[in-house]
Homo-oligomer: A and B are copies of this chain.
Amino acid sequence: MKPLILITNDDGVTSKGIRALDEVAQEFGDVVVMAPEHDASGTSHSITSSRPLRVREVKQAPGLSVYCCDGTPVDCVKLAIEYFCPRKPDLVLSGINHGSNSSINVLYSGTMGAVIESTALGFDAIGFSLLHHSREADFSGCLPWVRQIIGNTLEHGLPAEVSLNVNIPRLPASEIKGIRICHEAKAMWCDSFVQRSDPQGRPYWWLTGKFVCDNPPESSDEWALANGYVSIVPVHPDFTHYPVIDELKEQYK
């Protein structure tokens, strides 16, 4: 039986990036897409529990079923695995995101929320992001790299409880130098909000922000991307910081 690949994203079911991903995925197996009906960028690992979810069938073709729902990317993964996949998926993919999910952006990313949830549920999972934020981004340059990483993962599997956060520079495929396995660069978003007044003179605050990442080391994703490489960061769903457990035990003994 062919591999079953489940696909979701956070930009919504109509985005160019998810169409590019489902086309590559169909080269490897049967595909089920379950994606948010609308843009769900920045929803991180959110779940929807205060209201029910609705599902809409978008397309049925040989080897491809496309659905959307009014939930988050994490909702999409849980719901698709439980009700809409004909069998357990061999691989879960998320993306291709319109814009970077490198470094600290993994925290906010709905794309990566879906990936980390998949890993927590016991499935191999990969998030793909292109460093081009536009709705009209050109995904052709990243497709050979996406293809290689999907193929490699289906062949070899992933380390236990680890998913991949893949970011791809905005370059023609031939100008991308290769793949680097990295850690997240340390960074933060500063100057987060602009304050303005509405037409009635009442204040509002709108999220914006400046990405600050000073001198990322060569081992980091930001360095790899700035130097023309695809970055792969292995991500684990356990957020415990083990190296400080003994230090804290001293404080609380």
Contact = CB atoms under 8 A, between A and B. Distances in A.
Nearest to A81: B192
A179 interface: yes
Range class of the A interface residue count: 35 or more
A225 to B, nearest CB: 15
A156 to B, nearest CB: 6
A136 interface: no
Contact of A240 (B42, B195, B234, B248): B234
Given A46-B42, A104-B120, A78 B192 contact: yes
B241 A162 contact: yes
A18 to B, nearest CB: 19
A121 interface: yes
B240 A193 contact: no
Contacts of A182: 240, 245
B188 A121 contact: yes
Interface stretch (A22-30, A51-59, A169-177): A51-59
A170 to B, nearest CB: 21
A182 B238 CA distance: 12
A238 B186 contact: yes
A252 B44 contact: no
Interface of A is mostly: mixed
A235 B245 contact: no
Nearest to A43: B46
A222 interface: no
A207 B46 contact: no
A108 interface: yes
B207 A75 contact: yes
A16 interface: no
Contacts of A179: 252
11 contacts: A45-B107, A52-B205, A53-B205, A106-B239, A107-B116, A107-B239, A116-B239, A159-B241, A159-B244, A182-B240, A232-B248
